[in-house]
Structure 1
Amino acid sequence: MRGRTFLARCWEERTPGYANLLLFPLSFLYEMAVRIRNYLYDRGHLPTYRLPCPVISIGNLTVGGTGKTPLTVMVARIVKEAGYLPAIISRGYKGKGEKGVNIVAAEEEILLPPSVAGDEPALMASKLRGIPVLTGHDRVKVGEIAVKTFSPDCLICDDTFQHRRLHRDLDILLIRAKHPFGNGRLLPAGPLREPKEAMNRANVIIFTLKGEEPFPTFTDLPTPNFIARLEAKDLFIPSTGESRPLSFLAGKRVCAFAGIAEPASFARTLREQGAEPVSFLPFPDHYPYTTKDMKKIEAIAEEARADIICTTEKDAVRISDFPHFVLRTEMKIRKGKDRFTELILSTIRTWKRYH
C-alpha cells in the first residue's frame, strides 16, 4: 500500500519536490503519445472495427475506482429486463487468461475462477446469472466471439473508453464527482489516462458518488449527464447464502478488510450504516488472499473483540467459501433514471432498425 499512498499524495499535489522532477517528464512523454494516438484515430488514420451488434462502452478518464463495474451490472440489468440479451466483455485485468479469449459465464453457469477471469468479470458473472461474460485483451476479437457464440442483442463493454479500436454506438463516461481529475495531470504525475478534453467523445457522462457524499452541481455540459451513487444494499454470507438487512450493522463492532482501489471508502460506508470498525485492514488492489491471510484476519478480529468480520464483494470473489459477511452494493441513478434507461434501450432499437 505504500506505493499507492505515495502516488495518491502525488496526484493530490501533496508531493515532495523530487517527485515532481521525476514524474513530470514521464507524464509529458505519456501525454504526447496519447495525443498522437487520439489524433490518428480522430483523423481516421487508425482503423476502428464495427461488430454486427450494438456496442455500449463504459469507461473513465482516471485510474482507480469510479464505479465502472457496478454501472456495467446496472446497464446489463436494464437491457435484460427490457427483454433483450446482453453480453458483457471485459479485459479481465490481473486474470491469468487476460491474453486469450475466455468465456467466464454462459447461461446460468460460471465457467472460470477469479484467478483466470479477473476479479471484476468474476463478480459480474456472480451477480448476472444468465448473461454471458467474456474476457480478453483484444476487445474486438472478444466481441466477435461473443456475437458468434451467443447472438446477443447488444454488447456491454467494461472499461473501454480508451479502447478506440472498437467502434461503439453509445459511449458512457464515468467521472468521480469528488476530485474528478485529481491534480489534472496525466500518468504517472497524475491520475488521468487521457487529457480532459477526451470527455468530448462521450455520448453520456455520469458523475459518481459514494455513500453520503453530497450531490454536486455541474453546468455548461453539452453531453447528457447524470448523477449516480454507489449505495450499500445488504449483507450476505457466501458460504451459507444467508443475507441480512443493513440495519443488522447498527452498533456492531466490525473487523473489516478490503483490497480495492480506495479501501478507506469501505470503512466509511460501514460507519454510515452505524457500524463501528474496531479494526480495518487495507490490502493492495486485486490482492490474492491465502488461508494464512484469513487466519490472521480472524485472529485480529478475535483480539479486537469484533462481533463480525466484513469485506467487499470484489474481495469475497477471491476467497473460496467465505464464511463471513460481505457488504453488497448497487449503483443507482439519482435524477433521470427513466431518461438514462431510454438512452440505453434506444441505442439497441435504433441499431436494429437500420441493420
Structure 2
Amino acid sequence: MRKYFYSLMTDRIHTPVAKAIQGVLWLFSILYGVVVRALVLIYKFRLAPSCRLGKPVISIGNITLGGVGKTPLVECVVRFLKDKGLEPVVLIRGYGADKQVGSDEAKLLEESLPGIPVLVGANRVKNARDFLTRNAADVFVLDDGFQHWRLRRDLDIVAINATNPFGNRHLLPRGILREPLSALRRADIFVLTKTEIDSYLVELAKSKLKILHPAALIVKTVHQPLHFTALTNSKTIFDLLSLKGKTVCALCSIGDPDSFVKMLSGLDLEVRHSFSFLDHHVYTQKDIQGVMDFCRAQQVGTLVTTEKDAVKLRQFAGSFDNSISVFVLKIQIDIVDGKEDFLKRLLKAGRV
C-alpha cells in the first residue's frame, strides 16, 4: 500500500482511479501546506520555543522525501570537521527502526564513523543536552534538520537530487515536497547531489535555485563508487573490476533506487532485475526468500546491495545459500564544484 501511494505521489500511475485519488491527495496537500506555513511562522516569531545548544549546529537536510544521498554527505561533513581537530557529534532522528538493527541510517553512520557519537531519537534537543552533561563536543551535525525548527543552527545545508530536485512540485501527500519551495530561502548552502547522471538536469536545477535564492552557495557533488565488500565481512574488499561483465540482481530500499541501478550499469554490470523496496523498508524472511527464488530461477549467482541495506541484511546472511554471493557497493560523495567555499563555510560554522 505504501508503495502504491508513493507511485501516486510521483506520478508513476496514470489510470482513472489514480487520477481520482490524486485529486483527493491534492486537497490534503493544501491543508498540509497551511499547517507547515503556520508552523514556520510560529517558530519565526518565537511563539513556540526554539533553542540553542551552546555549541555550533550544522544542519544537513532536504526539502523532499528521501533519495538525495544525504547520509554520505553527513559522513563527508563529519569527517572533515574531525580532520580539522574538532569533536563532532551527530544528531539523528532514526527513521525506519528495525527491531534487530535499529535505524538503518544511524547504524550506517556508526559503522562508517567509528569513534564519533551518533545520538538517535526524535527529541534531538534533549539528546544533545544530555550528552553535554557528561561529555565534551565542539559541534553538532544535525541530520535531516531543515524542518527541525525547534533547534536553531549556525549553518543550514540543503541536499538536492539534481536529477529530480522537487518532484512534481506538489506538497505532501500529493507530491514529495516537505515544504513550499519558498522555504529554500532559509538555506545557506545548496548541495546538488548525483550530478554525474545528467549534466543538462544539473544546470536546470542550478538555474532554478539561483532564482529561488540568489545569495546561497551552490555546491555540486558526485556519488563515487569505491569498491565492493562482502555482506558478511565489510573488511573483505573487492575492487570495482572484480564484478565487471557479471550478470547481477540489485537489492535496495532507498529513496532513489534508479540511481543505484544506473551506477551498477556504469560499472559494466548487467542488472537482470532490481528488487526495489521503499526507503527504510524492514526486510523479512519472506523478502529474502523471494529474492533467492528469483535468482536461482534466473541462474543469477550475484546480488549487489547498498551500504544502508547491508546493515539490515546481515541478520539474514545465513539465509543466502552458497549459490548466491552478496556484495555491498561502497560509495563516497565527492565535491566537484564549490569545494573551497563549502569547506570554509563548514569550518567557520564549526568554530562559532
TM-score (norm 2): 0.88
Consecutive aligned runs of 4 or more in structure 1 exceeding 4 Å deviation: none
Of residues 76-85 and 206-215 in structure 1, the stretch that sits farther from structure 2 once superposed is: 206-215
Q: Structure 1 CA distance, aligned partners of 2:57 and 2:43?
A: 18
Of residues 248-257 and 215-224 in structure 1, the stretch that sits farther from structure 2 once superposed is: 215-224
Of residues 155-164 and 312-321 in structure 1, the stretch that sits farther from structure 2 once superposed is: 312-321
Alignment of 1:150 onto 2:135: yes
Alignment of 1:298 onto 2:300: no
| Displacement after TM superposition at 1:11 (Å) | 10
User: Which residue is equivalent to 1:207?
Assistant: 192
CA RMSD between the two structures: 2.3
User: Which residue is equivalent to 2:339?
Assistant: 337
| Displacement after TM superposition at 1:228 (Å) | 1.4
Aligned runs of 1:111-150 on 2, under 5 Å?
114-115=101-102, 118-150=103-135
User: Which residue is equivalent to 1:55?
Assistant: 57
| Displacement after TM superposition at 1:148 (Å) | 2.6
Per-residue CA shift, 1:26-68, capped at 9, x if unaligned?
1111111111111122222222100021110010111122121
| Displacement after TM superposition at 1:293 (Å) | 3.3
User: Which residue is equivalent to 1:105?
Assistant: none
* Structure 2 CA distance for partners of 1:345 and 1:287, relative to 1, 3 Å: same
Of residues 215-224 and 262-271 in structure 1, the stretch that sits farther from structure 2 once superposed is: 215-224
Tell me the SS of whatever aligns to 1:189. Answer: coil
Alignment of 1:244 onto 2:244: no
Higher helix proportion = 2
| Displacement after TM superposition at 1:211 (Å) | 4.9
Per-residue CA shift, 1:248-285, capped at 9, x if unaligned?
23201112211122222221211011000123222232
Number of residue pairs the alignment of both structures matches:
333
Q: Structure 2 CA distance, aligned partners of 1:70 and 1:89?
A: 15
| Displacement after TM superposition at 1:69 (Å) | 0.9
Instruction: Determine what percentage of the aligned residue pairs are the same residue.
Output: 34
From 227, 230, 248, the counterpart of 2:223: 230
One-letter amino acid of the structure 2 residue matched with residue 243 of structure 1: I
Tell me the SS of whatever aligns to 1:318. Answer: helix
Give unmatched runs, 5+ long, in structure 1. Answer: 98-112
Aligned runs of 1:147-226 on 2, under 5 Å?
147-209=132-194, 211-214=196-199, 216-217=202-203, 218-219=206-207, 220=210, 221-226=214-219
* Structure 2 CA distance for partners of 1:131 and 1:11, relative to 1, 3 Å: farther
Q: Structure 2 CA distance, aligned partners of 1:210 and 1:239?
A: 31
Q: Structure 2 CA distance, aligned partners of 1:43 and 1:15?
A: 43
TM-score (norm 1): 0.87
Q: Structure 1 CA distance, aligned partners of 2:304 and 2:53?
A: 42
User: Which residue is equivalent to 2:321?
Assistant: none
Of residues 283-292 and 119-128 in structure 1, the stretch that sits farther from structure 2 once superposed is: 283-292
